[in-house]
Chains A and B, each alone.
Chain A
Amino acid sequence: MSLGSQQVSANINSFNTLNTCNSFNACNVSSGGIVNFNTETDAEGRQILQWLSPLGPQQRHQDVRIDRLDGVGNWVLETIEFREWSNKEDGSVEPVLFCSGDPGVGKTYLR
């Protein structure tokens, strides 16, 4: 039995569209960062945030963390490049890290 490459690539592409499945582990809500977004309580504060930008990336982030499959792509976090970039606080490290890859390989879903 062999599979055509078209079928295989269809399978890879579906990496992008991981759908709801009850077996996903629930993600912890971590402190800080993107989830704390829009917590400004006063009316003017909310207006200012809206004025700064109408974009709300937090919704997309919630969707991604819900759909993410644990463990997939974690090797990126183990690379020396990532570790140096995230750990070293001095100016000795290049500040920009870029993960490049074709659509559907799982870049968005890196944990």
Chain B
Amino acid sequence: MIDSLCDQAGGKDIAVVGLYCDFHAHREQSTASMLGAILKQLVSREGIPEHIREAFQKTKKEFSVLGLRLPDLVEILKKAIASLQRVFICIDALDESAAKHRRGLLQALRDIVRASPNVRVFLTGRPYIDDEIVRCFNGAVRIPVSPTENDIRGYLEMRLDCDPDPMAMDNDLRADIMRIIPEKVSEM
């Protein structure tokens, strides 16, 4: 998704930023660190704005190891987004983030979207978080994803071509696999 949007953006003043949530990273993936990762990508395009540098130098002087406060982070994000023509924020596997951090992230995104007409948000996740998303964005457009028969065929071909033991395969078996699996999957 990120690559398609990047291609579409070309050299224009459009930023595409992304984040992958992970079950194994609950400790690191707090609301602030996820929003910080988005901000980081936005500001590393054009160089770090002076106000972020100043905020950093201030905390350094105070011998603080803390990052930005969440409300400040959201405000800085809005500012960074406003300086661009369009911004696409892509977040993969939202369901894999810890529930409380996800709630914080969605609320911050809602705040940002309301203030920024030039922002688009793309989310993926398991169906059980549909409700959470709709609660934050009641008009959110949902596309249910399941592989098409063509997707399955393409994938099977690739896997069969990578078979580490091709001698165990004959044309009949290959034909059976290519016929039956896509059929079965599309019935599911």
- Contact pick for B121, options A3, A97, A103, CB 8 Å: A97
- In the assembled complex, how far is the CB of residue A27 from the closest CB belonging to chain B, in whole angstroms? 7
> What total count of A-B pairs have CB within 8 Å?
251
**Residues A36 and B158 in contact in the complex (CB < 8 Å), given A53-B37, A98-B140:** no
Q: Contact at B36–A96, with CB atoms within 8 Å? A: no
- Assess whether A26 is interfacial by the CB under 8 Å rule: no
Q: Contact at A12–B147, with CB atoms within 8 Å? A: yes
**Residues A105 and B44 in contact in the complex (CB < 8 Å), given A89-B86, A97-B140, A98-B124:** no
- Contact pick for A105, options B113, B119, B130, B145, CB 8 Å: B145
B positions within 8 Å CB-CB of A? 1-11, 14-20, 22, 25, 28-29, 32-37, 39-41, 43-45, 47-48, 52-53, 56, 59, 67-68, 86, 88, 92-93, 109, 113, 117-127, 129-130, 133, 137, 139-148, 150-152, 154-156, 158-159, 161-162, 176, 180-181, 184-185, 188
A positions within 8 Å CB-CB of B? 1-3, 5, 8-9, 11-12, 14-15, 18-19, 21-24, 27, 30-34, 36-40, 44-45, 47-49, 51-57, 60-61, 64-65, 69, 71-73, 75-77, 79, 81-82, 85-86, 89-91, 94-103, 105-108, 110-111
Query: Could you jot down 21 A-B contacts, CB within 8 Å?
Result: A1-B180, A12-B152, A21-B162, A31-B10, A32-B9, A36-B41, A37-B44, A52-B52, A54-B33, A55-B28, A57-B20, A61-B20, A73-B147, A82-B143, A99-B142, A100-B127, A100-B129, A105-B147, A107-B145, A108-B20, A108-B93
